[in-house]
Structure 1
Amino acid sequence: MVKKTGRPGYLQIADDLREQIRGGALAPGAPLPSTTQLAEQYDASLSIVKMAVGILRNEGLVIGQQGKGVFVREDEQPEERPATDLASEVIELRTAVRDLSERLARVESTLAESRRSPK
């Protein structure tokens, strides 16, 4: 369950999954639960779960296989990513967060307008 601590939900989920991987609860080669299952488990949206899994991919802890799922990486040491790759990933994450914030603002605005308008 994502807690209201001020820390973004996707980081909380990534932290929890990372601990499960490093603690052995998710063994090398084991599949992660599906995005839908993780969303239900953490009571979070699919986009938040996808961002969390993306962080673990960028860290080299998990690897995706098209059509099969996402699996815990089998080798012990995750590959080092060049700083330029990390910088582009940070930009991508910031863009995703900005887009989500804009979408949320539009939804909130629409809800506020619908409450003001008599039916």
Structure 2
Amino acid sequence: MDVMVKNTGRPGYLQIADDLRAQIRGGSLAPGTPLPSTAQLAEQYDASLSVVKMAVGILRNEGLVIGQQGKGVFVNDPGEASPADDVAGEVAELRSAVQELSVRLSRVEEQLATSTKPRSGRSSR
């Protein structure tokens, strides 16, 4: 089931969170069910890993899913929703997302630096 993030002006991570939330609330992702891996979700939604991690982070904050170190992310039982249950996992995900964004930003800055160098033969007042 390939569900592409649409160019609607709404950020992709919110679209992914909306879709997963609808699956959880609709029962197709029942309590205790593992979410697909970040890589699988990225492929399914044709999105980057950092976008998927941000979407899952939203669902964690809402208490809809809970991470279990080394096992994955699972749909939470609504009676047990507690956003503070997996702070360490969320911090690790945020660090990973920040690291990925830092690498991407470095590439963009490098491309800008090489594309905006003054060309020879021009005066640089």
> TM over 0.5, yes or no?
yes
Moved over 4 A (4+): 102-106
**Pair member with larger Rg:** 2
Find the aligned partners of 1:73 and 1:33 in 2 and give their Cα distance.
14
Aligned equivalents of 2:50, 2:8: Cα separation in 1: 19
Identity %: 71
Q: Alpha-carbon deviation of 1:78?
A: 3.0
Shift of residue 79, structure 1, vs aligned partner = 3.9
Q: After TM superposition, give the deviation of residue 104 of structure 1 in Å.
A: 4.9
> TM (normalized to structure 1)?
0.70
CA RMSD of superposed structures (Å):
3.0
Q: How many residues align?
A: 103
5+ residue gaps, structure 2, are 85-89, 118-125
Which residue does 1:2 correspond to in 2?
A: 5
TM score, norm. by length of structure 2: 0.67
- The answer to whether 1:45 aligns with 2:48 is yes
Q: How does 1:67-78 map to 2 (within 5 A)?
A: 67-76=70-79, 78=81
The alpha-carbon distance between structure 1 residues 105 and 80, as it changes in their structure 2 partners (threshold 3 A), is closer
1:26 alignment partner in structure 2? 29
Structure 1 segment 48-87 matched on structure 2, within 5 A: 48-76=51-79, 78-79=81-82
